[in-house]
Structure formats: C-alpha cells, structure tokens
Amino acid sequence: MYGKGLKPLSIATVAMLAVSLSLVFFYAPLDADQGFIQKIFYVHVPLAIVALVGFIIGGIFAIAHLRTNNRKWDAYSYVSIHISVIFGVAVLITGAIWAKASWGHWWVWDEPTLVSFLIVFLLYATYYPFRYAIEDRDRQARYASVFAVTAGAFVPLNFMAVRMAQSLVHPRTFATAEGGMPGEMMLAFLCMLVAIGLLWTTLVKFELTAKSASGQVKRLRRALDAPVAGGSSRIAPEVN
C-alpha cells in the first residue's frame, strides 16, 4: 500500500535532480559577489526549506494522530521528522562549508539564522531519546505526537523571528530590497527546490514502505505463533 507509486516517484526525483544540477552548473550565471562558491546555495537553501517544511508536516500528521488515534499517522509523523533530521544534518554541514569559504569561519555564533536552525535541529534531535524513553507503545505515540505538534508550531515562529531580526552577514534568499535573484538563478533554485522536495517525499515513502513490510512480516510471524527473531525497535513505530 505504501509502496504504490514509489517507482514513478523515484524516477521523477532522479530526473528532476539531474535537470536541476545541470541548470545549477551550466545555466545559472556566476554570482557577481561570491563567484563559484555561491553554487552551494542551490543545495543548502532548498535542503533547509524542505527540512523545515518537513518538520511542520510531521506536526500536521501528529495532529491527525491525536485526533483519530490512528497509528498510521504516528508513523507518518515519525518518518517525516526522521527524514527532515537527516536533511538537517546536510544543511548544517553544507552551511558550515559555505561559511568557511565565504566568511572564513566554519560557524558564526552571533548570526541568528545559523543559531536558530541549530536550535530547531537540536530540538528535533531530542525526539528520538524522548520516544525511546517511553515503553508503552500507545503512550509513546501520543507523547511523540504532542512533541511533534509543539515543535512543529515552533518552526514557523522561529523562522519569522529570524526574518525580523537584524542579520549580520547571512543573506536573505528572497530579498527584494536589493534587486533579488536574476531570473536564471531563480529558475535553477526553484528546480532544485522541487527536486529536493521530491527527494524528501520519495525517502518518506521508501521508509514507510520498509516499515510496512517489516510490520507485515512480524504480523505473519505472530499469526504462525513463532517467536520474532531479532526483536523490534522501540523507537520506530510499526506500520501494518
């Protein structure tokens, strides 16, 4: 059920990534200020946007779980947050590389954009031990959903606070006061954003399909009255 449409989605993701990367390196012009180093922007910013949106989507799925008490939504919420955390790691590393090349430092502590993203990332990093600390599966799912809703609401608030703050060195992606991005750059950026969004969706579907398959095997074992080999993870929810 979860694997439905995974193959065309994977093909679309690979094709979109290939097109976007071609646009980034062969079509988008070099930035007048930063030169070639600005190419990091096309992977760093879409990853950050998709990761933050993924956290919010995780919160929306958690609301659906709390409203319906259907464990399927808890699994969706968990997987959304899980993939977004992985994207968050990529954002932090690519951002640090860009910072080193542009500013000469791997990290700048007085820059609100960097620190706020780190706070959001660390907040979601606590999701796993929080989930793991609860033995009872129903309580675990309920508490994890409450966490996902609260943290998901924090993400846009945090984003708005950063937008309103006086930035020292970090540029604004959609700034229009100083002319914004040229059309070719914007096209490459938007294609990359769509590609990364597709990648996130594919990975979420892939993870859900694997969890579903694992859940079905465990169900089958229980039906055959045989012991479950290897045990099951207490962090990850099962999907049947």
Task: Look at the chain and count its residues.
Answer: 240
The tokens describing 159, both together, are: 């984003």
Instruction: Tell me: does residue 47 bind another protein (CB under 8 A).
Output: yes
Nearest 5°: CA angle at 227, between 224 and 231? 130
Instruction: Tell me: does residue 63 bind another protein (CB under 8 A).
Output: no
- Those residues whose C-beta lies under 8 Å from the C-beta of residue 190, and which sit 6 or more positions away, are none
Q: In this chain, which stretch among 42-50, 55-63, 112-120, 168-176 interacts with another protein, using CB under 8 A?
A: 42-50
The tokens describing 198, both together, are: 């597709």
Q: In this chain, which stretch among 108-116, 133-141, 164-172, 223-231 interacts with another protein, using CB under 8 A?
A: 223-231
Give strand pairing partners of 35. 31
Q: Residues 193-222: x/- map of binding to another protein (CB under 8 A)?
A: ------x---x--xx--x--xx--xx-xx-
Query: Of 120 and 203, which CB lies nearer to another protein in the complex structure?
Result: 203
Reference 218, options 237, 194, 204, 198; nearest CA is: 237
| Type and span of the H or E element at 148 | helix 137-164
For helices 6-22 and 183-223, give the axis angle rounded to 10 degrees: 150
| 68-97: contacts with another protein (CB under 8 A) | 86, 89-90, 93-94, 97
* Min separation Cβ 13 and another protein, Å: 11
The site for another protein, by CB under 8 A, has a size of 37
Distance CA 91, CA 72 (A): 28
Instruction: Tell me: does residue 19 bind another protein (CB under 8 A).
Output: no
- Those residues whose C-beta lies under 8 Å from the C-beta of residue 21, and which sit 6 or more positions away, are 192
Among 3, 5, 29, 35, binds another protein (CB under 8 A): 35
Measured between its terminal Cα atoms, the distance across the chain in Å is 10
Query: Of 67 and 100, which CB lies nearer to another protein in the complex structure?
Result: 100
Distance CA 68, CA 239 (A): 16
Give strand pairing partners of 31. 35
| 94-113: contacts with another protein (CB under 8 A) | 94, 97-98, 100-101
* Min separation Cβ 150 and another protein, Å: 27
Query: Of 161 and 228, which CB lies nearer to another protein in the complex structure?
Result: 228
Residues near another protein (CB under 8 A) are: 30-37, 39-40, 43-44, 47, 86, 89-90, 93-94, 97-98, 100-101, 199, 203, 206-207, 210, 213-214, 217-218, 220-221, 224, 226, 229-230
